[in-house]
Amino acid sequence: MSSTELRSTASVGSSPSGSASRARPITGTHLPAFVFQTGKDLALHAAQIISRLIRERSDLGQSTVLGLPTGSTPVGTYRELIRLYDEQGLDFSNVIIFCLDEFYGIAKDNPQSHRLWLAEHFFNHVNVKQENVHCLDSQVVASDIELHCRRYDDLIQGAGGFDLVLLGIGRNGHIGFNEPFSMRKSRTRLCTLDPITRQGCASDFFGESNVPVQALTVGLSPILAARHVLLLALGEHKAAIVTETLEGVISDRVPASYLQEHVDARALLDLPAAGLLTGISMPWVLEKVEWDEALIKRAVLWLCERSGKSLLKLDDEDFRQHDLHQLLRHHGPAQRIAHRVFRWMQDTIEYHPAGKEKKTCLCFSPHPDDDVISMGGTLIRLVEDGHRVHIAYMTSGNIAVFDHDAHRVADLVTEYNRLFSIDQQKSVEVQQEVHAGLANKVPGQPDHATILKIKSLIRWSEARAGALHVGCGAEDLHFLDLPFYRTGTIAKRPMGEDDTAIIRELLERVQPDQIYVAGDLADPHGTHRVCAEAILSVLGQLQREGKPVPEVMLYRGAWQEYALHEIEIAVPLSPSDIELKREAIFMHESQKDEALFPGSDPREFWQRAEDRNKGTADKYNQIGLPEFFALEAFTRWNGNQI
């Protein structure tokens, strides 16, 4: 397949049904970039590009050489390639694969091994020949590292070099494990991992302290010599580095920026990852735009931020000085536009988010604490308004509990049973099993079933206490324990029919008038995205069957808040509401003071929640709206998958 042919697929791609993929080019970037409506659309498109390349080269009697990464970003692409193999006979027998990197010093059967990860997520499901799969040796002795790396480069070169390299991107701009300040001409080598990279890997290893300090990586030179490169990015947490990579200068500080020099590299992004690019966030500065209500709202609120003025203080000159002549010309004068946006923002303020008539509301909480962290104040308001409030905890959250908490609970229950003469023998047996399991546990190793049950129980009790504290009834709490999550590791199974059946049964049993869904795609573990996609897919099924669908509100979690122009409902919170919400969050004691997977934000979850709620209120005040103590923000589901 020629570069021209491959390039031409970027905006048309094929879906399983043969329809065009929903991609559009982004203007203003230094390398071709395309944004997709959903991560699923992106994965489908990337897989189609790879499959066409494989088929083209196979028809010519040639092998296809791929460089492949691990991680949550390419998982969807691998699943789609597996589907193409199963359903359309895509043949991998003449495909040669090189794993791009590997942690140094870990065992080959370690769950965090990239070799093992790629086998479980891809190799084992297609007909690729084992002799055609090449991975770096995580346990090569130190004296042989240089030779091993040189031989790996020779293997790549001997195979003809990469036909296509698939890449994710780290929050520091790394590709592979080519960390900031890697040399443009670097080859395969041992490298020291950047602190941001180790922080990003912490959840995979059950704590940053367990993440290896070093890794082996294919260098920038072989990657940049590939004939085709696909750079994938998903989620808001990648938006800043995506913008720096695609719009910034080429710099060794951001290794991914070297892709700007590549003859056929492109970036495939979902909308959240593309959200800070100029062509998405401020398209009016690059090209003529159609000024619909959403874009007017976004532009005028952006103007408030740039000018430091509130909405009703904007004048014509503010619009002209900030390149909004076209908006002023077609919808002005400034006073008219500003009043229009002021009314829109005023209308978002809602003291009664479910209305005043009694309704049934259902909050879906991906993890056991997302409900009170993300919308604890709104739960308080719904209860006060007399609505019946159900909460569905979708996963156990058991992997996010420290070992010492499980140890403590095992001891507590054993002593409790001794004090009250309750089945002491079994308690002691379990206690000993827990002690032995934790004592023999290798750092980063998954827990065995008994310990996972105890950790699930800890999260169950905390979730129950938090929900009761904001006024929900115990009979209205639903612990779904969806099967996709029950792996005991960070890596989860794909959401399947068993999962969606549980969600559907709950919706049909509770019959909610309004539901709340986590729309926070910055969640670094991906659980929010998976849960949201599952819920919305069930709602889509109900719609197609002609059944009633409740009103759907999307909330953000502990990771990021909606931008002002995105907010459709803002629920005011008083100081007493914030205090009660904080107390409910404190019920999650295993996540208090120090969470096992805190992400890149050093603040505790209650601090993040309060800062976010108060920050949203401050932004409303800055644009000239009433001054509230705090606000929780929501958007309405528009009927599309996310």
Tell me if residue 579 falls in helix, strand or coil: helix
Q: If DSSP codes are grouped into helix, strand and coil, which group holds residue 238?
A: helix
Q: Give the chain's radius of gyration (CA, Å).
A: 26
Residue 325's CB: how many other CB atoms inside 10 A? 14
* Separation of alpha carbons 485 and 494, rounded Å: 9
Structure tokens at 503: 């969600």
Q: How far, in Å, CA of 496 to CA of 474, rounded?
A: 28
- In this structure, the number of other CB atoms found within 10 A of the CB of residue 32 comes to 16
Q: Are 358 and 388 within 8 A, CB to CB?
A: yes
Among the options 80, 179, 247, 604, which is catalytic? 179
Placement of tokens 């502990």 in the chain: 558
Strand partners, 24: 35
**Dihedral of CA 92/96/102/104: which sign?**
positive
Distance of CA 369 to the CA centre of its chain: 17
CA distance 213 to 210: 9
588-620 CB burial, b ≥16 within 10 A, e <16: bebbeeebbbbbeeeebbbebbbebbbebbebb
**Secondary structure letter of residue 393 according to DSSP:** E
**Which residues have CB under 8 Å from 144's CB, separation 6+?**
none
Long-range pairs of 505-510 with CB within 8 A, sequence gap ≥ 24: 506/362, 506/392, 506/478, 506/480, 507/362, 507/538, 507/539, 507/542, 507/550, 510/360, 510/362, 510/390, 510/478
The answer to whether the beta carbons of residues 496 and 484 sit under 8 Å apart is yes
- In 338-442, the DSSP E strands lie at 360-365, 388-393
Please indicate whether residue 290 is annotated as part of the active site: no
Contact between residue 33 and residue 246 where contact means Cβ atoms under 8 Å apart: yes
Residues marked active site are found at 179
